[in-house]
Amino acid sequence: MRARVEHPFHILKNLFRQRKARSGGLAKNTTQLHSLFALANLYIARRSLSGTGHSVRSHQDP
């Protein structure tokens, strides 16, 4: 249960490099975190959203 709850936080910290809140006002920080968690949810659900049974890989430059 714990891993399922902490997985979106792992994605935010490591994939999106969101380590700490930036000083831009409470409303701006809240909006940014809501957006990042929405993207993390899409990242987690990318296999089921792709329509194929195969894993989806992102293209990264070496």
Run means of pLDDT, 10 residues per run, the chain, 62 residues: 78 77 79 87 85 59 51
Classify residue 12: in a domain, yes or no.
Answer: yes
Classify residue 15: in a domain, yes or no.
Answer: yes
Output the pLDDT for position 9.
Answer: 80
Classify residue 25: in a domain, yes or no.
Answer: yes
Classify residue 53: in a domain, yes or no.
Answer: no
- Whole-Å CA distances, 14 to 2, 8, 46: 18, 10, 17
Classify residue 57: in a domain, yes or no.
Answer: no
> How many domains would you assign to the chain?
1
Classify residue 62: in a domain, yes or no.
Answer: no
Classify residue 58: in a domain, yes or no.
Answer: no
pTM equals 0.59
Report the alpha-carbon distance of residue 26 to residue 35 in Å, rounded: 14
Residue 39 structural domain? 2-44
